[in-house]
């Protein structure tokens, strides 16, 4: 099967860059597409919590250098549709490409409340990046919407600039007792559980929100709003692939999904990195399974019946064997090829190494033998001993 790439990775966040690097380190031809700059969510993170990676930009630099060092091609394009199969076909903003395997690592979309006027107010008061936009709200009041560990950290970060940070929790907080204690101790931070934002206020720029709690509705004057809820996965990107309620993909049928985009993902840097590593290894396995086995063949011995009997079309090559190691069966040549075969099998992660040879035979370089070899194998390595 001839494809543009062995592996296409969709999304170059921590999961995608890790998957791409691991696959490339195994000698595969890998491209990682991103519709923005590489790094994904990490680009927005000044401080990393529960990960030893330094700052977000430092970790992006390290991940990118490691991927490119392993031979990954980083490409700037949006993947708009993935058609699974053999080969996988991908529609991108730069044209169509084919691959032996695909890893979907798109992460989640930005936080959204789903309220009228929200898109128009994005970057006009509505933001999802405390590290980037926090300084714009120095001395002004902001609200944060969310219930998880990272919402708590973003609120604490914003408290370094804002005059007041109201954390609106849709239900009850899910963050750890340690984070709850830090929020409680923080000056200028108030946590409001069971709060729903019902409307946004502002002409051109945000001026406030309407919040409903058990006590009723009230207006809250804020210059900034940071929604960390309503983030959705890439539902619909891959033809035929099911998604969960959050639009995150359920891997099946050989389509690999890594990081936040995967149904059930933990949504942390460590988990996304581990996911990426596993997907890179799995891509290798998927390609090996489709590329067949490696077999050492000595035509003087007579080949295995199933090989000999299989029809060969003009100009075709066998599908179950990519490489023939062809020896005249002299012991030294046989040993050389057996060693070479084992190395190739390990390098390509092939499931099977076959060996068929007869002791002390020799073969004439006749037309039939040459035809047979050239039609059945993509590569023939020859060693002749005496």
Ligand X SMILES: Cc1cc2nc3c(=O)[nH]c(=O)nc-3n(C[C@H](O)[C@H](O)[C@H](O)COP(=O)(O)OP(=O)(O)OC[C@H]3O[C@@H](n4cnc5c(N)ncnc54)[C@H](O)[C@@H]3O)c2cc1C
Q: Which positions touch ligand X (CB under 6 A)?
A: 10-16, 33-36, 40-42, 45, 48-51, 78-79, 105-107, 150, 153-154, 228, 234, 259-261, 267-270, 272
CB of 9 to ligand X, least distance (A): 9
CB of 242 to ligand X, least distance (A): 18
Is residue 190 within 8 A of residue 163, CB to CB? The reply is: no
105 vs 333, beta carbon nearer ligand X: 105
56 vs 341, beta carbon nearer ligand X: 56
CB of 171 to ligand X, least distance (A): 18
127 vs 327, beta carbon nearer ligand X: 127
41 vs 291, beta carbon nearer ligand X: 41
CB of 258 to ligand X, least distance (A): 7
14 vs 99, beta carbon nearer ligand X: 14
> What is the Cβ-side half-sphere exposure of residue 15, based on CA atoms within 13 angstroms?
27
180 vs 221, beta carbon nearer ligand X: 180
CB of 303 to ligand X, least distance (A): 46
One DSSP character per residue, 243-311 reads B-TTS-B---TT-EE-GGGBTT---SHHHHHHHHHHHHHHHHHHHHHHH-EEEEE-GGG---HHHHHS-
Residue 334's contacts (CB-CB under 8 Å, 6 or more residues apart) are 327, 357, 385
CB of 276 to ligand X, least distance (A): 7
Radius of gyration of the chain (CA): 28
One DSSP character per residue, 151-189 reads HHHHHHHHTTT-SEEEEE-SSS--S-HHHHHHHHHSTTE
Q: What are 28's two structure tokens?
A: 């595969």
6 vs 153, beta carbon nearer ligand X: 153
Q: What are 224's two structure tokens?
A: 């900034």
Q: What angle do CA 82, 316, 24 make, to 5 degrees?
A: 45
CB of 188 to ligand X, least distance (A): 19
Q: What are 344's two structure tokens?
A: 């190739």
Distance CA 301, CA 101 (A): 36
């Amino acid at each position: 099967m001839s494809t543009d790439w062995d592996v296409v990775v969709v999304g170059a966040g921590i999961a995608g860059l890790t998957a791409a690097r691991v696959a490339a380190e195994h000698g595969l031809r890998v491209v990682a597409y991103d519709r923005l700059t590489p790094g994904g969510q990490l680009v927005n993170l000044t401080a990393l919590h529960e990960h030893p990676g330094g700052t977000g930009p430092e970790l992006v630099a390290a991940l990118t250098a490691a991927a490119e060092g392993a031979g990954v091609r980083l490409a700037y394009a949006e993947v708009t549709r993935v058609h699974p199969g053999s080969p996988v076909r991908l529609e991108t903003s730069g044209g169509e490409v084919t691959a032996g395997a695909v890893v979907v690592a798109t992460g989640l979309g930005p936080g959204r409340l789903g309220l009228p006027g929200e898109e128009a107010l994005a970057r006009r008061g509505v933001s999802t990046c405390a590290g980037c936009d926090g300084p714009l709200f120095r001395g002004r009041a902001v609200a944060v919407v969310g219930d998880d560990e990272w919402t708590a950290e973003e609120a604490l970060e914003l408290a370094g600039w804002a005059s007041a940070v109201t954390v609106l929790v849709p239900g009850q907080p899910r963050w750890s007792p340690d984070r709850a204690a830090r929020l409680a101790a923080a000056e200028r931070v108030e946590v409001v559980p069971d709060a729903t934002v019902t409307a946004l206020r502002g002409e051109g720029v945000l001026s406030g929100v309407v919040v409903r709690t058990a006590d009723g509705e009230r207006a809250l004057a804020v210059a900034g709003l940071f929604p960390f809820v309503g983030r959705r996965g890439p539902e619909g990107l891959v033809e035929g692939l099911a998604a969960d309620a959050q639009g995150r993909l359920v891997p099946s049928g050989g389509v690999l999904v890594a990081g936040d985009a995967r149904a059930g993902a933990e949504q942390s840097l460590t988990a996304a990195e581990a996911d990426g590593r596993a997907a890179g290894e799995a891509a290798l396995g998927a390609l090996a399974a489709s590329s067949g086995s490696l077999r050492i063949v000595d035509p003087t011995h007579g080949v295995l019946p199933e090989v000999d009997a299989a029809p060969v079309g003009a100009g075709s090559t066998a599908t179950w064997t990519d490489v023939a190691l062809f020896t005249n069966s002299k012991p030294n040549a046989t040993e050389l090829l057996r060693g070479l075969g084992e190395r190739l099998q390990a390098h390509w992660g092939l499931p099977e190494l076959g060996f068929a040879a007869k002791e002390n035979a020799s073969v004439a370089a006749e037309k039939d033998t040459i035809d047979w070899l050239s039609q059945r194998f993509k590569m023939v390595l020859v060693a002749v001993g005496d």
